[in-house]
Amino acid sequence: MPSSPAARPRVGLFATCLMNLFRPNIGFATAKLLEEAGCTVEVPSAQTCCGQPGYNSGDVDAARALARQVIAVFEGFDYVVGPSGSCMATLRVDYPKLFAGDADWLPRAEALAAKTHELLSFLTDVRGMKAVAADYAGIATYHDSCSGLRSLGIKAQPRLLLGAVGGLELTEMRDADVCCGFGGTFCVKYPEISSRMADEKTANIEASGADTLLGGDLGCLLHMAGRLKRQGSPVKVFHTAEVLAGMATGEGIGGTSK
Amino acid sequence: MKVSSPQFKEKSVIALADPRLRQALGQSRKGFVNKRAELVGALPEFEQLRDEARDLKNHVLDNLDHYLERYEAAVTAAGGHVHWARDAEEARSIILNICQRVNAKTITKGKSMVSEEIGLNDALEAKGYTVVETDLGEYIIQLAHEPPSHIIAPAIHKTKEQVSELFEAAHGGPRKTTVAELVTEARLVLRDKYFQADVGITGGNFLVAETGSSIIVTNEGNGDLTQTLARVHIVTSGIERIVPTLEDVALFLRILARSATGQETETYTTLSTGPRRPHDLDGPEEYHVVLVDNGRTKMLGGKFQDMLRCIRCGACMNHCPVYGAIGGHAYGWVYPGPMGSVLTPLFVGLDATYDLPNACTLNGRCESVCPVRIPLPELLRELRHMQHQQGIRPQGERRALGAWRFVAERPGLYQFANRLAARVLKGLGGSTGRIASLPFAGAWTDSRDMPAPEGKTFLELWQARSKP
C-alpha cells in the first residue's frame, strides 16, 4: 500500500475518453468522491487518451507515444485516479511493460504505475473509505468489468461501498464476471459476436430482478445500455461513482426507457 | 487439416444463427465451468499447483533437448521406437510406412489432436485403410464428416437429437433417443472394431522421460482398448508433451482433470511402456512414438514459448465468451478458442488467420483459469503487434488508428474534436438521449442504440466551473 504523502494529497483526475465525451457526470461524481476522501482534485487540461486503443491493436509505437504524454502530464501528482478499471490498468499494468528495457522511461512509467489507481480501489484500499453519504432507491446489480476485475482485482470494493448506500438493494446476477462483449474496437469489428455476448448479459441482468445496472467502466456500460435500450428494457444504467456520489439522477446512460 | 480461418467472420455469423449449436454449446460448457469451479474451490492448494505446473513446464522447455534424448533412450530400452517428424507430411509418411509394413487393414484411433493437426485420417483413408475413431465424440464427428469443434469434447456442437439422427443413418433403426441407449449402441458397434484392428493410434497426454512411458487419460476406456488390443500401437504427440518423472505426472493429473472436465481424476489413466513383454498377458507387438515438431521448435526461446506449456485441457475455451457464442468450427483449424487463436497463426501463418487474435475482447477469463498460467491475452496482443508490423491489418483500420493517434497526440485538437462530437451526437440523440442509427457507425447501431452525450465535454465543463 502506498504511503499517503500529505494530509490532503493532490490527485490528478484522469478523464477517460468515453467519460469526457459521453458522460461528464461521472467525472464530477469522481471529483466529489475524491474530495470526500480528503483529496485535492485537479484535472490537467493537456490530457488526452491513455493509449490503450493502440496497444490493443498492435500499434505499440502509438501506445508508447501517448503513454509518454500521460506520464509527463501526471507524474507530478501524489496520485492518479480515474473512473475506469480498463484505462487505469493500462497505466498501472501495461505502461511498465511498454517501456521494458528503456532506461529513461521505465523508471518514470513504474513510478506513475505505483501511484495510479482505479477510483473504487483508491477510495477503499488507499483512503480506507467504508461509507458514503448517498441514497439511491432501487435494486441494483453490479457488472464486474474485465480489466478492473482481472488486472486490478476489483471485486469487493464497489460492493462494499454500494452496500453503504441508503435505500439501495444489491442483487447479484448470474455470470457477473463474464465479459459483456464490448472489448473496445471488438464491438464494431465483430458486431454480431459482440451483440450475442451482450444478449447473454442482458438476459442475466433481467433475470436478476434488478431495476438498475451498475459498473465501473463506461465502455461496458454504454454497450450494455445500448443493447438494453434497443431491447426496450426499463433497466436504468449508471456508473458506480454516480450512485456513490448521490448523482445518479435522471434517466441514466442511454436515456429514457421509451 | 484444411485451414478455413480466412472465413472466420462469415462462419461465425452462420454459427450465431444456428439455434441447435446455441443449445448444444450452452449446456455442456456450463457443466464444465460449474464443475471446475466447484472442485477448484474444494482444493485449497490449487493455485499453488498451478504455479508448480507452470514452473515445471518452463524447466522442461528450457531443457527440452535433454529430456527428449532421455525419453528416446528410455523408449528404446523398453523395446519401442521413437520417430522424429519435422512437419505434418513427415509425420503422415512415418505412420503410413508403419501401417504398410505390418499389412494393416483396420486402424482404430483414440482421440489425438496431433493426428488432426497432421491430417492423418484423410491420408490413411486415401491409402484404403479403414479408420475407426473410438472416442465417442470423435466417432460422432467421423460419422458426420466434420472436424472437432473442441479439443476435449470434439462433438460438443452436436445436440443429442443430432447424434440420434447420425446413429440411425449409420447403424440403422430403430432410432435411439436416450443418452444411455446411444452410448450402448456406440459401444456395441465399436467393440468388434477393437478386435479387428491391426494398428491402434492414440495421442499422448504426457510422455515420461524417466521411464519412456506414454500416458493417456480418458473417460471411456476407449484409448486402453485401442492401444492394448491392436497388434501395433502408434503414439502421436507434440515434442513439448514431455515431463521428467512419473512423480511429475501426478501433479499434472491433478490439475488436468479439474481444469478440463471438472473431475478429480478422469476415469481411466493409462500408462504404456514399450511393446508386450514375454510374460505380459496382453499388449501390442510393436510400440512406436511419432514425435511431431510442426512449428513447435520455432516457438522455443521466443515470446511464444509460454504457449508450449499447454496441456490441452480446454479450460480456456470453456470459459471464453467468444467461443461460447460461435463454437469451435468458425476458428477454421484444429485448435479453437483462446489457445487455438495463439497456436493457429503460429502454425499456419499470420496471413490466413487475421481474425483469430483480433476476435477477442482481451477479457482475461482464459488466463484466469489456465492450469499452467499461459498469458493468453498477452500472447494474442503480441500477435496483433506482429500483424501490425507486417502490414497485415486492413487499410481502413490502419487509417483509423493513424487518425486516432494524430488527434490524441495533440491535446488542443483532441479537446476541440471532442467538443464538436459531443454537440453533434447530442443533437442526433434528440430528446431520447440515445441514437438509434448513425451513419458510419452501423457496426454499433445495427444491434445497439448509442447512448447520446450530455452535450459538453467533462474537460470544458470542469474548466468553466474552475474559472473564478
**Is the residue at B388 inside a domain?**
no
Note whether B451 contacts A225, CB cutoff 8 Å. yes
Q: Which of B298, B319, B334 is the last residue in one of the domains? A: B298
Q: Does the structure show a pLDDT above 50 at A1?
A: no
Give the CATH number for residue B91: 3.40.50.10420
| B121: containing domain | 5-298
Nearest CB neighbour to A181, from listed B361, B389, B411: B361
Q: Can you tell me the distance from the alpha carbon of A113 to that of A74, in angstroms, rounded to the nearest whole number? A: 11
Mean pLDDT of B352-376: 97
The verdict on residue B339 lying in a domain is no
Nearest chain A Cα distance for residue B147, angstroms: 22
Asked if the structure places residue B170 within a domain, the reply is yes
Comparison of pLDDT for B359 and B465, the residue scoring more: B359
Confidence grade of residue A3 (pLDDT, cut at 50, 70, 90): very low
Q: Please, what is the average pLDDT of chain A?
A: 95
Cβ–Cβ < 8 Å for A41, A34: yes
User: Which grid coordinates are listed for A82?
Assistant: 480515474
With beta carbons under 8 A apart, name residues in chain B contacting A190: 9, 12, 322, 355, 358-359
pLDDT tens string A135-189? 999 999 999 999 999 999 999 999 999 999 999 999 999 999 999 999 999 999 9
Q: Can you give the pLDDT at residue B26? A: 83
End-to-end CA distance of chain B: 70
The verdict on B55 and B189 lying in the same domain is: yes
pLDDT at residue B425 in the model: 93
Region B201-228 average pLDDT: 96
CB contact under 8 A, B361 and A186: yes
Architecture of domain A10-125: 3-Layer(aba) Sandwich (3.40)
A193 touches chain B (CB under 8 A): yes
Question: How far lies A46's CA from each of A17, A53, A249, B78, B373, in Å?
Answer: 13, 19, 30, 71, 39
Is residue B220 in some structural domain? yes
**Residue B460 located in a structural domain:** yes
* CB nearest to B432's CB, from A25, A177, A256: A256
Give per-residue pLDDT as tens, B330-361.
999 999 999 999 999 999 999 999 999 999 99
The topology under which CATH files domain A131-244 is Rossmann fold (3.40.50)
d(CA B342, CA B157): 22
Both B281 and B413 in one domain: the answer is no
pLDDT of residue A52: 97
Q: Which residues pair with A11 in a beta bridge?
A: A41, A79
- Distance (Å, whole) CA B337 – CA B323: 6
- Rounded-to-integer distance, Cα A140 and Cα A173, Å: 10
Interface contact flag, B361 A177, Cβ < 8 Å: no
pLDDT band of A258, cuts 50, 70, 90: low
Q: Is residue B358 part of a domain?
A: no
pLDDT level of residue B467 (50, 70, 90 thresholds) = low
Domain ranges of chain A: 10-125, 131-244
Identify whether B333 is part of a domain: no
Question: Which pLDDT score, from 0 to 100, does residue A161 have?
Answer: 98
Q: DSSP letter for B453, please.
A: P
Whether the CB of B429 is below 8 Å from some CB of chain A: the reply is yes
Kindly give, in sequence order, each residue whose CB lies less than 8 Å from that of residue B306, ignoring residues fewer than 6 positions away. Answer: B374, B375, B379
Q: What is the pLDDT of residues A16-61, one digit of tens each?
A: 999 999 999 999 999 999 999 999 999 999 999 999 999 999 999 9
Please name the residue of chain B whose CA is at the shortest distance from the CA of residue A45.
B459
pLDDT over 70 at B172, yes or no: yes
Average pLDDT of chain B?
Answer: 95
Measured in angstroms, the CA of B366 and the nearest CA of chain A are apart by: 11
Question: Comparing C-alpha atoms, which of B135, B5, B240 is closest to residue B121?
Answer: B135
Q: Are B111 and B242 found together in one domain? A: yes
For residue A2, is pLDDT > 50? no
pLDDT digits (tens, 9 = 90+) for B235-275: 999 999 999 999 999 999 999 999 999 999 999 999 999 99
The answer to whether residue B117 sits within a structural domain is yes
End-to-end CA distance of chain A: 46
In chain B, the number of structural domains is 2
Nearest CA in chain A to B441: A188
Give residue-wise pLDDT tens across range B121-137: 999 999 999 999 999 99
Largest CA distance in chain A: 56
pLDDT value, residue B430 = 87
Taking the model in full, what pTM does it have?
A: 0.95
| Mean pLDDT computed over B376-393 | 96
Quick one: cell of B118?
497432421
Residues B186 and B52 in one domain: yes
Report the percentage of chain A scoring pLDDT > 70: 97
- Among B279, B298, B317, identify where a domain stops: B298
